[in-house]
Homo-oligomer: A and B are copies of this chain.
């Protein structure tokens, strides 16, 4: 059959991505399959492969979308009265974003794509944008420092916030989890920035 449904290729593409995202949020990566996606949008498995190269292509596209959303969220964080407060707000936004999309956020960092499959430029670029946002926020605290020094300081801190987030989203253990993630992130940011500013 052909053109049975009224979906344009773009619509179909979006429906596939939505379906995949729903399945992941519901059942995790483990529950995702081409057949399950096809079932949930009322198409046959083969149809997926007319639009995406394979399942990894679908996942890579989702990763790219997620990263773009993250950048949007972080860009929307307003500059606060002090650099410390701005960084704290950025960390809060980051943690919130992850907690709101636990499984999809996890996907960003835990799904290894086959090495022969290059990450799209847009994805890499957005990673850099996140870095630069943090660098801009941290720079005022390091007036006398060079560009490289600032970059290192920003990336170390952000990797740290990332670590807090990563542990929190798994929700194991009673101490560092979804409920307490913001507090731990604040502790890290506060102490780290104090370390930056006082000798």
- Give the B-binding residues of A (Cβ under 8 A): 28-30, 106, 109-110, 112, 114, 119, 124, 127, 131, 151-153, 155-157, 159-167, 170, 172-173, 175-176, 183-185, 187-188, 190-196, 198-199
Contact = CB atoms under 8 A, between A and B. Distances in A.
A173 B147 CA distance: 18
A198 B197 CA distance: 10
Report copies per complex.
2
A176 B195 contact: no
A167 B166 CA distance: 11
Contacts of A170: 109, 112
Nearest to A175: B155
B160 A188 contact: yes
A131 B173 CA distance: 12
A99 to B, nearest CB: 15
A147 to B, nearest CB: 13
A191 B152 CA distance: 12
A153 B191 contact: yes
Contacts of A161: 160, 163
B164 A166 contact: no
B194 A156 contact: no
Contacts of A28: 112
A139 to B, nearest CB: 15
A166 B30 contact: no
Contact of A110 (B110, B164, B167, B172): B110
A156 B180 CA distance: 11
A112 B30 contact: yes
7 contacts: A110-B110, A127-B173, A156-B185, A156-B187, A159-B163, A160-B161, A195-B195
